[in-house]
Amino acid sequence: MCGIAGVFNFSESVESAEVKKMTDVMHYRGSDGEGNWVSNDKKLCLGHRRLSIIDLTERGAQPMHYLGRYTIVFNGELYNYKELRTELLKLGFQFQSDSDTEVILAAYHQYREKCLQQFDGMFAFALWDNEEKKLFCARDRFGEKPFFYQFEKENFFRFASEMKALLLNQKKTVNRRMLFNFMAYNVTQNPENQSETFFENVFKLEPSHYLIIDESGNAEKKRYWTIDPNKQINISLEEAEKRFQELFYRSVERRLRSDVPIGSSLSGGLDSSAVVCAINKVNRGNQNAQNTFSARFYDPDFDEGEYIDGIAAHIPINKYDVWMNEDVLFTDLQNVIYHVEEPLTSASPLAQWKVFQLAKEKKVTVLLDGQGADEILGGYLHFFRPYFTELYFSDKKEYKKQLNNYKKLRGFDFDPYSKFERRIKFGKLFNRLGRIRRKISTPGHLKFLNTEFLNQNKTNDLPFRVFNKLNDSLKFFSTEFGLEKLLTYADRNSMAFSRETRLPYLSHELVEFIFSLPNNMKIHDGWTKYILRKSMQDIIPEFITWRVNKLGYQPPIENWLKLPKAQQMASDAKDFLVEKNLIKNNCEITGREWMLINAAGFLKAFNL
């Protein structure tokens, strides 16, 4: 886990001092070492900040060279590096270190771009081939690790782990389309163009993509992995449970590989509890209790302490809690925005920030976390609509049965003429009417925006999708929109404190298996994440396994925003945004406090 940067100039020499400034601005991403390398022709410089996790010796330092031909800067972890190393040794390769970085270099020499198919990991790297004079850049399947770049074909290619490293000594310009989508719809991604960021002329390499740049500035970008939502297997529930366990435990076990202290984030929900309990199971020969880190809230409606304590009573853990109140809004929010490099859509990153801060205080470098489970297993309530829509048009008898069980479990009481069922049965009509309505009039909830700003953007495609099949929806939220935002929070909050986060649910083998299962193993009788609950019910306390309510990692932000100090923050933010010609002077604050504070906070953080 590190910070990487580089400049590839196609016509002039590169100064290593420029790249050092880029890595210095991300010093927190790697406090254990740094290094720069300049090519013989002075056209390429690669820089690295090191956070030592695997092979703590100097042999694991970067930039790393291999066979007198390759040089790499790498950010992330290759979890299956031991298995790949064994295979490569059989093929005659030799290694000078015990690092996963050297395995990437050897694998690239053997398999070229197809090496990415071999990797189980989170990664962003740039690898120079001095023989072919090409820079090979790649990002992991889900976007756990960041890779930003600027590219002018006639001049240069520049990349870094964070945008602030690219924007040094440059005039910064906000991407108004992205800012509009945040202020209007509370989204920070553009599913129509995943490479867009909140800064003009700064792009991100999309997840599951690689990019090759040659010495003449020619570029080739390709997707190397995708999910087939239509691939289905014929399997019994019992067989599926066994296979899920095998894949999940293997993923957890691989993500425990570390030469530094390792622990877990524990929210009290199903996903993180499954990870913590799985660690206990695969570590049964280890007598040391694992360290867990949790965010706690004084408001009992948001605190999950009873579930966290339930895990502590169930298995041996060293439980560390950080108690949060409204002070985090006033003391930490602006720091989080600076590190995330975009406004926040919710307050959950504030809780995450405090958890990683606590982990640093306790000197635990690596934390496993439960992120990704909701997106791949249908954990959010909005997945019920495509699930029931698909069922309605394929098996009306099963539809009625599952809908009735859903109502009973969730405590809902609606009839066939309710909005929920109408949108299932007549979804296409509702969508068509919505598009027509948006074309002929401005929605009332957007009229607070400055007229010019609104007119520039109101005809943009909506950053939302409606799906009639569950797997299509799961694929969208796990690979195109939604999950990557959460992964951004995880990367930036952890790295701000020189910590690393690892996500067992994002093993691509596990994800591919889940997508191949029939829908009733993901959502069943009103239960979300059914195969996870069934597979893990023997190792997780029952009151967590079959828990209906879902709080998430959300602080009581609505209550905090009602406080006088927060109201003043929102009022000041409103005045700032009026001056920037983004909102109208008569804009109502109530209900918009979070948006106003974050939009203004982002613009101020980067002097936009």
Span 461-516, pLDDT tens digits: 788 888 999 999 999 999 999 999 999 999 999 999 999 999 999 999 999 999 99
Nearest residue to 458 (alpha-carbon basis) of 472, 439, 473, 476? 439
pLDDT in tens, 242-292: 999 999 999 999 999 999 999 999 999 999 999 999 999 998 766 678 999
Q: 106: which residues sit within 8 A by CB, 6+ positions away?
A: 66, 85, 88, 93, 95
Q: DSSP E strands: which ranges in 192-311? A: 203-204, 209-214, 219-223, 262-265, 290-297
Identify the DSSP state of 174: B
Q: Is the pLDDT of residue 433 over 80?
A: no
Could you report the per-residue pLDDT of 11-55, keeping only the tens digit for each?
999 999 999 999 999 999 998 999 999 999 999 999 999 998 888
CA distances from 269 to 275, 371, 550 (A): 10, 11, 7
In this structure, are strands 290-297 and 317-324 parallel, antiparallel, or unpaired?
A: parallel
DSSP readout, 67-104? TTTEEEEEEEEETTHHHHHHHHHHTT---SSS-HHHHH
Q: Phi/psi at 2 (nearest 5 deg)?
A: -155, -170
pLDDT score recorded for residue 553: 77
User: Which region among 73-82, 163-172, 455-464, 541-550 has the lowest average model confidence (pLDDT)?
Assistant: 455-464
Across the range 74-78, mean pLDDT stands at: 97
H/E element holding 13?
none
pLDDT at 435 over 90: no
Residues 279-311 pLDDT 10s: 999 987 666 789 999 999 999 999 999 999 999
Residue 439: predicted pLDDT: 58
Average pLDDT estimate for 335-348: 97
pLDDT range class, residue 412, cuts 50, 70, 90 = confident
The average pLDDT across 106-123 equals 98
Residue 447 vs residues 441, 442, 443, 584: alpha-carbon distances, Å: 11, 7, 7, 8
Give 276-287 as a DSSP string: HHHHHHHTTT--
pTM over 0.85: yes
Q: Which pLDDT does position 226 carry in this prediction?
A: 97
Contact status, residue 521 vs residue 387, Cβ threshold 8 Å: no
Helix, strand, or coil here: 163?
Answer: helix
Predicted local confidence at residue 581, as pLDDT: 97
User: Above 70 in pLDDT, residue 437?
Assistant: no
Which among 488, 507, 478, 515 has a CA at the least distance from the CA of 375?
Answer: 478
Mean pLDDT of the chain: 93
Q: Is 27 helix (H, G, I), strand (E, B) or coil?
A: helix
Tell the residue number behind the tokens 């695969």, with chain if given: 282
56 pLDDT above the threshold of 60: yes
* pLDDT of amino acid 371: 95
- Percent of the chain exceeding pLDDT 70 equals 95
Q: How far apart are CA 193 and CA 182, in angstroms?
A: 15
The whole-number pLDDT of residue 511 equals 98
**Could you give all domains of the chain from N- to C-terminal order, each with its CATH number?**
2-167+202-223 (3.60.20.10), 237-377+473-555 (3.40.50.620), 383-469 (no CATH), 559-605 (no CATH)
- The per-residue pLDDT for 316 is 93
Q: How many CB atoms lie within 10 A of CB 259?
A: 16
Angle of helix 237-254 relative to helix 508-516, nearest 10 degrees? Answer: 170
Q: For 342-393, what is the HEC assignment? A: CCCCCCHHHHHHHHHHHHHHCCCCEEECCCCHHHHHCCCHHHHHHHHHHHHC
